[in-house]
């Protein structure tokens, strides 16, 4: 993990629970008596992610469709920390996020951590709906612009224009809607 990643050590469970009561029912103890969650329980993982986003990044609203993949916050933050190392320091950094997904996680974290602005693109209607709500409910419409990609065979066509200037482009392939879609693709590739 990146040296500046605040999640290089164990989660501060007492802090997270004290600031996010919805996480409390999911707290258990591991074999050595430390507080943790059951990472195989998707509801517990989602509650943990919501608590992390709220406590460390001031993201008050975070919602995903049922059965969509839950992005691991420490890993997504890591990706952005390494990207930040490569970028020139500027007050007006704009990033393109291709296939932002329902979570819109890179724009949410990137704006909170670095004050970056984003253009986030997405093809899937359900993902667009949830990404839009995550942006709006956090008051980030001036910092995160959501653009619909109408043709999934195209990545940039008709979602960028010659006036756009981006410091970087991020994405998180492969693009799977949920665990079932991912497993089907893995089966086809085996």
Position 49 in a domain = yes
Distance in angstroms (rounded) separating the CA atoms of residues 89 and 81: 13
In DSSP notation, 160-185 reads: --TT---SEEEE-SS--SBHHHHHHH
Position 96 in a domain = yes
Output the CA angle 131-50-79, nearest 5 degrees: 70
The pLDDT tens digits of the residues spanning 46-58 come to 999 999 999 999 9
Residue 113's H or E segment, with its range, is helix 105-114
pLDDT at 81 over 70: yes
Query: What does the pLDDT read at residue 89?
Result: 87
Domain tally, the chain:
1
Other CB atoms within 10 A of residue 163 CB: 5
Query: Domain of 152?
Result: 13-189
Position 169 in a domain = yes
Mean pLDDT computed over 106-130: 97
To the question of pTM greater than 0.85 for the whole model, the response is yes
CATH at residue 81: 3.40.50.150
């Amino acid at each position: 993990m990146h040296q500046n990643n605040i999640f290089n050590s164990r989660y501060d469970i007492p802090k997270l629970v004290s600031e996010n009561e919805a996480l409390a029912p999911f707290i258990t103890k591991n074999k050595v008596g430390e507080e943790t969650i059951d990472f195989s329980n998707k509801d517990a993982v989602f509650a943990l992610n919501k608590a992390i986003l709220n406590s460390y990044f001031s993201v008050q609203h975070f919602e995903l469709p049922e059965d969509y993949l839950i992005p691991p916050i420490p890993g997504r933050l890591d990706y952005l920390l390494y990207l930040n190392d490569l970028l020139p320091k500027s007050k007006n950094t704009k990033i393109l996020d291709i296939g932002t997904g329902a979570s819109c996680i890179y724009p949410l974290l990137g704006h909170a951590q670095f004050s970056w602005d984003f253009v986030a693109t997405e093809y899937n209607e359900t993902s667009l709906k949830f990404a839009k709500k995550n942006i709006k409910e956090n008051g980030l419409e001036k910092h995160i612009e959501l653009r619909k990609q109408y043709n999934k065979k195209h990545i940039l066509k008709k979602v960028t224009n010659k006036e756009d200037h981006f410091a970087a482009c991020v994405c998180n392939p492969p693009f799977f809607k949920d665990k079932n879609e991912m497993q089907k693709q893995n089966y086809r590739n085996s």
